[in-house]
Amino acid sequence: MALPAQRPAIYADLFNLPENMVGEIIAGRLVTHPRPAPKHARVYSALGGEIWSPFDQGRNGPGGWWILDEPELHLNNDILVPDIAGWKRAHMPKLPETAWFELPPDWVCEILSPSTARVDRAEKLPIYARHNVRHAWLVDPDLRTLEIFENREGQWVLLTVLEDDAAVSQPPFDAISFSLSSLWAD
């Protein structure tokens, strides 16, 4: 007996998820994971705090960016929700009127957790590369590491891996420096 064909996930499927779940559509599959645990949430709040003021607001930094937590990206048929993303204002002068973004960001950051690391690395990073996202940062709160990637002709090149309390002054936010230890909850 043949199994019934499973239909590809559609945008409406995201509205049926419980409030404690984040949903994405990757290659036609509905991919879900729970809202971040406190250590994970702390990292993306702290990282956003380090870059938001100098880059989004232009305080003690160059400004010229939109920095947003958990934006919904509609990249062709894929719907992704990075932990943090940024657009150069020269690339996107104003925020869209929709609840989502069709313009790929210039930078994405994924905070890795045991439940999301494989999808973030193996599935989402290639999609970001195909859509010409220029920079990607992967933060691992358990290993206390920050991996910095640059997109070169659709391929991610690892620029560096920082750990523990290293000074962070990396593209595209190399106009400032902060201690990686500011992200870790001790």
pLDDT tens digits, 107-160: 999 999 998 999 999 999 999 999 999 999 999 999 999 999 999 999 999 999
**Three-state secondary structure readout of 89-148:** CCCCCCCCCCCCECCCCCEEEEECCCCCHHHHHHHHHHHHHHCCCCEEEEEECCCCEEEE
Q: Which CA distances in Å does 165 have to 40, 109, 145, 149, 180?
A: 17, 19, 9, 19, 5
The dotted CATH code for 36-69+81-183 is 3.90.1570.10
Q: Is the pLDDT of residue 6 over 80?
A: no
pLDDT tens digits, 62-117: 999 999 999 999 999 999 999 999 999 999 999 999 999 999 999 999 999 998 99
Query: pTM of the entire structure?
Result: 0.94
Residue 14's pLDDT is 93
